[in-house]
Every structure is written in C-alpha cells, then in structure tokens.
Amino acid sequence: MTSFVSALGRRTINFVSETGSVFILFYKSIRYLKQLWASRSLVFSQMLEIGVNSIPLVLFVGVFAGAVASVQTAYQLKGYISYNYLGAATSVAIFIELGPVLTALVIAGRVGASIAAEIGTMKVTEQIDALESLAIDPIRYLAMPRIFSGFIMIPLLTVFADFIGIMGAYAVAWINLDLPPETFFGSVKEFFSILNVMSGLIKAFFFGGVTAIIGCYVGFATDGGAEGVGKSTIRAFVLSSAMILLNDYILSVLLF
C-alpha cells in the first residue's frame, strides 16, 4: 500500500512538474514573437516544413475521411431520412470534427514526432549547448518558429482537408447512390454555417499549437543518446495525440 501511494505521489509530482515546464516553454516562446520579423527565415522554413510539405498527406487522409463519412451517413439515413440531406450531414461532420481532428493527428505523427526527433538529436549531440555558448537562445532559434508555424499552418491545412473531404463525400454519393451534384451541394449550401467552419478552425488553431509545443518540450527533455531520441519521438506522438483528443472534448463543450 505504501509503495502504491509513493508511486502515485511521484507520478503526480512529475505530471505537475512537466505541465508547468510546458507552460514555461510556451511563455518563453511567445516572448520572442516581438523578434518574429528578425527570425522570418527560420519561421518561413518551418511553415514550409509543417504546412506545405504536409499538403499531400492531408489531402490523402481528407478525401478518404470524407468518403467514409459519406458511406456511414448514408447507412444511417437509409429508410429514415432522404438522401437529399447527405451533403449537409457529411459537411457538418467534416467542418466540426473530422477535418480539424484528423488533420491534427496526421500532423502529430508527421511533424510533432519530427520536431521531437530533430531537437532531441541536437540535445544529445550537444548542439544545443553549442548554441548557448554562442549566446543564441535555443528557444528563440528552435522553439518559437516551430510553435508559431504550428498555430498558423494547421488551420490552413484544415481548410484543404475540409474541401477535399467534401469532394470525397460527394464522389461516394455519386458513385454509390447516383446522387446528382445539385442535390448534394444544394444541401451543403442550405445548411452551411460559418460558425461550424470557424469552430473547426479554432480547434485546429489549438491543436497545432499543442502539437508543436509538446514536440519542442519532449525534444528539449531528451537524454540517453540514440535510444532516448527514439523514445522521445514515440512519446511526442502519443502525448500530442492524447492532448488533441482531450482539447477536442474541452473545445466542443465550450463552443457548442
């Protein structure tokens, strides 16, 4: 019993300590936003890596997410509600949930883990110590560009995912149900709400920040050589995915 309480206490202390460290890293990073223009080359480089280079993967995931949403929604509507509302139902699901969440999870796997591995490698090879010896703050040089780019690029990627997701949903509706485009997109237009789109983009904004912050924090906390880098990569993806889903629930409660 004593060992259980001790283990629980240690885990609680570690959780509180790491949570505080994450917020400290975020605070230190946003302080350097005043130097954003001076660091523009670093920021643009990360925007390219996080955003532009992720577009093909996001489009691939988005089109099949929309297709699956269309198939499942049609199954639920069968015999109860007209298929004329299939476009409206799938588009709302894509705007509010599928677009932002799946995009964020894909980026957590592709970018969040990559950030942790890159910074972690620099940590174990003492490159971060070298930066500090040159009076270069690693947070300004490494963390701030990645965190800022995460906040900005994930919502933009979500727009791509939303669009291609609806196209995928329509393709399935046309192939399986012979639903004409004017019927499908007419229902999308009829039930379209800018609030649904904005809610999804707000979620994506927070998801992007969470993914980048966790990736940076785990990278800076890496130790143990090559094995430690591997563990940090996995840890960054797992933590980012868990926090994305947790924040999805919290934001859904607050926004709706």
State residue 254's pLDDT score: 92
Question: Would the CA dihedral through 24, 48, 91, 94 be positive or negative?
Answer: negative
Contacts of 224 (CB under 8 A, 6+ apart): 124, 231
* pTM greater than 0.85: yes
* 152 within a domain of the structure (yes/no): yes
State residue 190's pLDDT score: 87
Cα separation, 67 vs 186, in Å, equals 18
State residue 163's pLDDT score: 95
Per-residue pLDDT of the chain (256 residues; tens, 9 = 90+): 667 777 777 788 877 888 888 889 999 999 999 888 888 899 999 999 999 999 999 999 999 999 999 999 888 888 777 778 888 999 999 999 999 999 999 999 999 999 999 999 999 998 999 999 998 999 999 999 999 999 999 999 999 999 999 999 999 999 988 888 898 999 999 888 899 999 999 999 999 999 999 999 999 999 888 889 999 999 999 999 999 999 999 999 998 7
Q: What angle do CA 99, 159, 106 make, to 5 degrees?
A: 50
Of the candidates 180, 178, 177, 191, the residue with the CA atom closest to the CA atom of residue 90:
191
Q: Tell me whether residue 55 is exposed, middle or buried, using C-beta atoms within 10 angstroms of its C-beta: 0 to 12, 13 to 18, 19 or more.
A: middle
**Structure tokens that stand for 240 in this block:** 């980012």
* 13 within a domain of the structure (yes/no): no
State residue 37's pLDDT score: 87
Q: In the chain, which ranges are continuous DSSP H helix?
A: 2-31, 40-50, 55-77, 86-93, 99-107, 113-124, 127-133, 138, 144-177, 181-190, 194-220, 225-255
Q: Which domain holds residue 61?
A: 44-255
* 22 within a domain of the structure (yes/no): no
Question: For the chain, how many structural domains are there in total?
Answer: 1
Q: What angle do CA 69, 52, 111 make, to 5 degrees?
A: 75
* 61 within a domain of the structure (yes/no): yes
* 6 within a domain of the structure (yes/no): no
* 100 within a domain of the structure (yes/no): yes
> With pLDDT > 70 as the criterion, what percentage of the chain qualifies?
99
* 33 within a domain of the structure (yes/no): no
Cα separation, 247 vs 128, in Å, equals 31
Of the candidates 210, 212, 217, the residue with the CA atom closest to the CA atom of residue 232:
217
* 18 within a domain of the structure (yes/no): no
Of the candidates 151, 50, 161, 155, the residue with the CA atom closest to the CA atom of residue 99:
161
